Amino acid sequence: MLSIIIFGGTGDLARKKLFRSLYNLYSKNILPPNVKIIGFARRDLNTESYRQFVSDELIGDFELRSEFLQTFYYFQGDLGTESSYHDLKTFLSELDDQYGVCASKLFYLSIRPELYDGVFDLLKKTQLLNTCTSDSTAWSRLLIEKPFGTNFEHAKFLDTKLSTVASEDQIFRIDHYLAKEALENILVFRFKNEIFRNAWNASFVSRIKIHMYETRGIDGRGEFYDEVGALRDVGQNHALQMLALILMNEPENFDGVHIRKNREDVLKTLTPAVCNEQNFERAQYVGYEDIITKSSSQTETFFKITLNTSMSQWNNVPFIIESGKKMAHDDTSIHVEFIDGSKIVFEISPIPRITFSFHVKESGYDYKTASRDLAFSYQENNMLVLDAYEKILYQAIAGDVTSFVTTHEVLEQWRIIDTILQQWTDLPLRKY
Ligand code: BG6
């Protein structure tokens, strides 16, 4: 049996992503039989009203939905109060006893990151992860959302604490980008097609650009976002992980151990380029200050950063990352630009697609060349793009760590971002 305990069971992420992803897994018979999903939150609900709360977020076959809702339970408690953890532990034990099992337990921390510190303390104190030990095949795992910490020192502090709560193989640090089909495909494209392998270095590639442009703004997350800013929000994690997948060496095996090690090896080599207005930019969209309560803010909603690596095969190739909210169009993509003008683009969203732009001769009497595309998209091939959260849950239950970041990766990411944050304070904050 499996119990999934959602800390922050009435929160935004649970409503927008987790209920639906769990429903999809349930409808495909992927969740183990007798799964129980427990929402842990402060709101005044009970199991019956929580089931209704969950139901409001679901669409689909009525009977299946009703069956799915029966797997939900509500546990009202306070994340900051020790007795809530003791009571939750009793609640989980009783559920186990009712079925005469020691269920595996997946704890999903879908909570505000500033609460981690206190929650880790209470998890340790109450030994919630060790609710039962009678079945040696039952496991306990902890899923943790980003951002993990606010800088290198803070992340290290949290990590030291976390290591007293759970062992490294029980900890699943989420970067949902790593569970996106389009990102997983980067490794297959690079390493399963011999033709590109030899061209994947500084002798052929002139530049790599990553765009993360979103038309949406900060979606009611004003207070949180204003403390964080774009560079910490998506640069410290998603963007650096995309770059790691593009630059990393071929893993000895395509498994969690080797892929994570090679991502980590790339991150260790990355350093910011010289801090000037050509390599770095910070900007804020017009109207941003109207939605936060502070009267003026220096927080960036757009950034451009330039990085270099000490990996010899990428000598002198600049890596440019640009990300912004409220941009003119949605475009998350990675552009590998070759010296001869040809290009490979990995589009992550809105339409996951891989495009190779190459030279052809125009038809006609003269010898003129033009650029044309060869492309693969999931849509045109009727291939389903699974939601990243569905895969995160699937992989965490299966114990597959590939799409989760190690403590070393998190710290390396902060090392890079901290350096930039310290260096770029003199840059003007442009409006756009
Ligand atoms: C999140 C950021 O991690 O990623 C958001 O906090 C951002 O600000 C989001 O919008 C982008 O994810 P996706 O999957 O919508 O591209």
In the predicted structure, residue 219 carries a pLDDT above the cut 80: no
Q: Which tens digits make up the pLDDT trace of 137-166? A: 999 999 999 999 999 999 999 999 999 999
Phi first, then psi, for residue 209 (nearest 5°) are -120, 140
Q: Does 201 contact ligand 1 (Cβ within 6 A)?
A: no
Confidence of residue 348 (pLDDT cuts 50, 70, 90): very high
CA pair distance 294, 59, nearest whole angstrom: 39
In the 3-class helix/strand/coil scheme, how is 316-355 assigned residue by residue? CCCEEEEEECCCCCCEEEEEEEECCCCEEEEEEECCCEEE
281 Cβ closer than 6 Å to some ligand 1 atom: no
Span 29-39, average pLDDT:
95
- Residue 60: what pLDDT? 86
Give the model confidence (pLDDT) of 295-344 as tens digits: 789 999 999 999 999 999 999 999 999 999 999 999 999 999 999 999 99
- For position 223, what pLDDT does the model report? 83
Does residue 402 surpass a pLDDT of 80? yes
* pLDDT of residue 244 exceeding 90: yes
From the CA of 332, give the closest atom in ligand 1: 16
Instruction: Report the nearest-CA residue for atom 10 of ligand 1.
Output: 214
Q: What is the mean pLDDT of residues 373-380?
A: 94
pLDDT at 129 over 80: yes
Per-residue model confidence (pLDDT) at position 292: 82
Compute the distance between CA of residue 21 and CA of residue 144 in angstroms, rounded to an integer: 17
Cis peptide bond N-terminal to 350, omega within 30: yes
- pLDDT confidence tier of residue 135, bands split at 50, 70 and 90: confident
Q: Do strands 319-324 and 205-213 pair parallel, antiparallel, or not at all (unpaired)?
A: parallel
| Ligand 1, atom 9: closest residue by C-alpha | 234
Predicted pLDDT at 303: 98
Q: Which residue type, as a one-letter code, is found at position 159? A: D
The predicted-structure confidence for 45-97, as pLDDT tens digits, reads as follows 999 999 999 999 999 899 999 999 999 999 999 999 999 999 999 999 999 99
Atom of ligand 1 nearest to the CA of 146: 3
Say whether pLDDT at 294 is over 80.
no
pTM recorded for the entire structure: 0.96
Residue by residue, DSSP assigns 26-58 as: HHTT-SPTT-EEEEEESSS--HHHHHHHHHTT-
The residue nearest atom 3 of ligand 1, judged by CA position, is 234
Nearest CA to ligand 1 atom 4: 234
Nearest CA to ligand 1 atom 8: 233
Return the percentage of the chain with pLDDT > 90, whole number.
91
Q: What is the mean pLDDT of the chain?
A: 96
**Atom of ligand 1 at shortest range from CA of 238:** 3
pLDDT of residue 166: 96
Q: How many CB atoms lie within 10 A of CB 61?
A: 11
Question: Reduced to 3 states, what is the DSSP secondary structure of residue 375?
Answer: strand
Residue 301 CB less than 6 A away from ligand 1: no
Is residue 145 lining ligand 1, measured as CB closer than 6 Å?
A: no
- The pair of structure tokens assigned to 219 is 């979606």
CA of 177 to the centre of ligand 1 (A): 9
pLDDT for the residue 185: 95
